Structure 1
Amino acid sequence: MAAASCLLTEDQFMCSICLDLFTDPVATPCGHNFCKDCITTHWDINVFCQCPLCKETFYTRPELRVNTLISQMAAQFRRSAQQEASSNTSRLPCTGLDDISCDICVGNKLKAMKSCLVCMASYCETHLEPHFTVTGLKKHQLINPVKNLQSRMCMKHDKQLELFCKTDQMCVCMLCMVLDHKAHDVIPLKKEYEEKKAELGKTEAEIQQMIQRKRLKIQEIKHSVQRSNEAADKEKEDGVQVFNALREFVERSQAKLIETIEEKQRPIQKQGESLIIELEQEISMLMKRSAKLEQVSHSEDHLHLIQSFPFLNAVPPTKDWTEVSICPPTYVGTWMTAVKLSSKSPS
């Protein structure tokens, strides 16, 4: 008998009307079981007494009696589930300021693992289990835990915001569509989420291309500065050789040469460093925007993505660097100028 009871599952003692364990279970003449209150209410609101499962019609309302055996077994399953929940000490407590607590827990609330957009409640791991095992709950939409689920309800009709009005660019409920947006272009929220997500993906790709172009510009500027440095070094080297041959005033001419060249090079160096700093600042700004776009694009939170879309979809304004370049000065003939200046200087 004990081995046979192990084969029984909670689903076998669940009412197909309320989707919960039987309370005062009764059997219809066709052999199906329901909670007494559930089947009585069902028949009260329908013209015919019909089985909700097999649709057999009873022209005379059956007299229902509670099946005590099934009632006892359902109660046993209920007690076992409660004991398992109360003895489960391995779950995470809700302690952090940003943690979202389970709406079902009593006393010390546990940390919620998911939020249900159909039930409008957040559940810890234990209380979330029915959403994976109960047939009627498996179709509910689960997302990562979010605060203030009521903000996802229509304030006017107290219905879930599950549609998007493209005409008015706002989230609406089913009643809004029928009453206030009848002639508007209304689509499911998920479809608008996919469209917005695709647009954000394009924006992110465009930003990545901008980052790449600016990095290439940095390399171009660095290369220009390097060529300018090389040209300056070469001119200094040539000038030193000339002034070494002049022996009597070589040191004074050499110093004047170096000073003249470095005065020409200094603005180029500063200009290059300034442009690089400006480009790196723009890259930093774009990378932050890219990271935010990636975070929102991978979010399962439809509403959050749509609400963030107007602020994230626009590409941040940056400077047009197409015509920006470094123009190194010419150093040809600098040593001659230095010689003339040195020759005019008092010895």
Structure 2
Amino acid sequence: MALPAACLSEDQFTCSICLEVFNNPVSTPCGHSFCQSCICSYWDRGGGGQSAKSYQCPMCKESFQKRPELHINRTLKEITEQFKQLASSGLSSADSAVVRGSPNAQPHPNLPAPPRHGDMPESIFVEMVARFQRLNPAGMPHVGSPEPQSYFFQTQNNRLLEPPPPPYSTFNSAGSPADVSSNLPLCPIHLRALELFCRTDNVCVCSSCTDTAEHRGHTVVPAQREWQIKKSQVEFTEVELKDLISDRERKVEEIQNSIREIRDAAEKETEDAVCAFSKLISSVEHCQSKVVEGIELSLQAAESRAQSVLRELQEEITALKKKSCTLTQLAEAEDITTFLKRFPSESAPPQVKDWSGVSVTSQLTSGPILRTVNQMMEHLQEHMQKLMEICQRPSPVKPVPRSNPKVKRVQEYAENITLNPSTAHPRLIISP
């Protein structure tokens, strides 16, 4: 469905880089549109500064850490193509009109230009813009639609008033009233064409219905006129819906990219965590082997000391048994002379140690080591519990703000204005 020519302006379809009509328009994440080749060349040349690591929008200077993936805005491309066709058809009709007239012929300044086929009459466009403006919040006009001053009347209170609609009997957009009425359905009561529309009851009526008590005093306009106004509103709404769809598709793609980045980050964190725990386990195992080795060395030392004492005791036991056997033989001897001769040497006390203070203890030197290990395990368990609490803590999620798309569009054209004190109103006080 083609847009009305009066709603289109060349400035709306001009790339701010090449200052030409859009060619394969693309939109940046901040909402501005450029030619695909222009914005790519701008970023390839280092858009955003030679030392900058981010990419900037040439319009609002918003920076992007990664180079955005640009896709052709199909809706804007279709509207641009329609604008080019309307512009070319308008130039062709104007040139043909000059050729048919005299060489020096000029259009009469008081006569309006004849409407081209498919254009919306100015009166309908005036009324449509005024009604569509009332649909927007705070009386804000639709972004992208022209705002000619001749379309509205200014009052002393700065209220925009809808100009009075022309009589419906003089309206003719596609042909004569007879041609229009012939294609309309008939009123079931008066059997006349339903060529009027009652805005109060939101129903199509005929000329006879307006005289009845049911519709007397209601706001009645031509049905064809109301159809074109509502049709244009549907087109505007369709463009807005396509923009909303495009914004949400870009947001879906952004979220999907974020999910991929989150998965990559999770994989890297998992690898780092496994590596850190592997190092911790390896360190604990190494410490364990050292502790076990120390316990074994302590055991070997204790056994060596015990074996040395056992050897000395066995030697003394053997010597004492030998001494006891010798004394037994001496006591059994019958020869008095031999007994008395051997008695002094055999009856002398043996050379032995005092073993009453000697003992082998079962306590090893690894006791302090085990106490230190137990203390370390207690601290490690505390840190592990804190780590588990951090892992189970949910990550914060930012709430999605509910933004007004029309306000967002208007904010794209926001500018910083510096007021001049010399030209300001005397009652206005402008601070420096």
TM-score by length of 1: 0.29
- Per the normalisation by structure 2, the TM-score is 0.24
Larger Rg, first or second structure (1 or 2): 2
